Amino acid sequence: MEMISRGFKIAVSVAAIYAAQNSLYNVEGGHRAIVFNRIQGIKDEVYPEGTHFRIPWFERTTIFDVRARPHFVESTSGSRDLQMVKIGLRVLTRPIPDQLPTIYRTLGKNYDKRVLPSIIHETLKAVVAQYNASQLITQREAVSREIRRVLTERARNFNIELDDVSITTLSFGKEFTLAIEAKQVAAQDAERAKFIVEKAEQDKRSAIIRAQGEAKSAQLIGQAIANNPAFLVLRQIEAAREIAQTIANSSNRVYLKSDDLLLNLQQLDFENQKKK
């Protein structure tokens, strides 16, 4: 009898220790918990961060991460003009906390792996089919917004919230890629030819303006000489000064006649007038 009593005490002690160890559980930051009861099933209550009580053995907890998590998906779809397009999509998702019991009942804990790949592929195929391949490049932001709109609606049907959707990669078939490169090269050549034509026009206008300026300058000099012969003497002195300055700065000795210094131009002009 004493052995039975001692065994009962030991069993009670073990049960008490087990209950003490398993009656409390913690929910970390950014997480939520739901409880499965062996009698009631999944409870509708969602337990927030902190320490909570549960009945050992009768109740089992499941912890969910409710923070936004990235998912990367690649899909190959056909555009409206029948070009094959490979799109890489980055999606930030999180479960709606209040709907965690429903998510667990219908999809289980790995809800994202069961739902997201299929709805992302379906959405990409539906949206890409609305655009030509060239529009996917030129209207990339609009395509991204349309994908986000459709995908957000689809995900909410499964109690999943989308925080961000962005296109990370966009590639086409080899033939279309070569066609795009050829088009870009042609556009660059056209811009280069346009620049050459504009430069030639600008050079032509500059030459005309320069010629007009030189003609006007020659006309003014001719009028100045006709009105005042001393103007020519002044120019002779300036020219002689420049020649003398050049010779003075040279390391070589140079001997010039006065004729070479342009000091006899007026005399030559006077002699020519006498001959006439």
Looking at the DSSP bridge assignments, the partners of residue 75 are 87
* pLDDT at residue 250 is higher than 50: yes
Find the mean pLDDT for residues 6-14: 63
* pLDDT, position 119: 95
**Alpha carbon separation from 31 to 63, 91, 147, 184, 265 (Å, rounded):** 7, 20, 28, 51, 103
- Angle ∠(72,74,79) on CA atoms, nearest 5: 140
CB contact at 8 A, 79 and 137: no
Q: How confident is the model at residue 3 (pLDDT cuts 50, 70, 90)?
A: low
* pLDDT at residue 218 is higher than 80: no
Q: How confident is the model at residue 175 (pLDDT cuts 50, 70, 90)?
A: confident
Looking at the DSSP bridge assignments, the partners of residue 165 are 91
Find the mean pLDDT for residues 160-181: 84
3-state helix, strand, coil in the chain (%, to 5): 60, 20, 20
* pLDDT at residue 274 is higher than 50: no
Mean pLDDT of all residues belonging to the chain: 82
The larger pLDDT score, comparing residue 4 to residue 206, is at 206
**Alpha carbon separation from 17 to 56, 58, 60, 82, 174 (Å, rounded):** 11, 16, 18, 68, 68
Looking at the DSSP bridge assignments, the partners of residue 161 are 94
Find the mean pLDDT for residues 51-79: 92
* pLDDT, position 1: 59
* pLDDT, position 92: 96
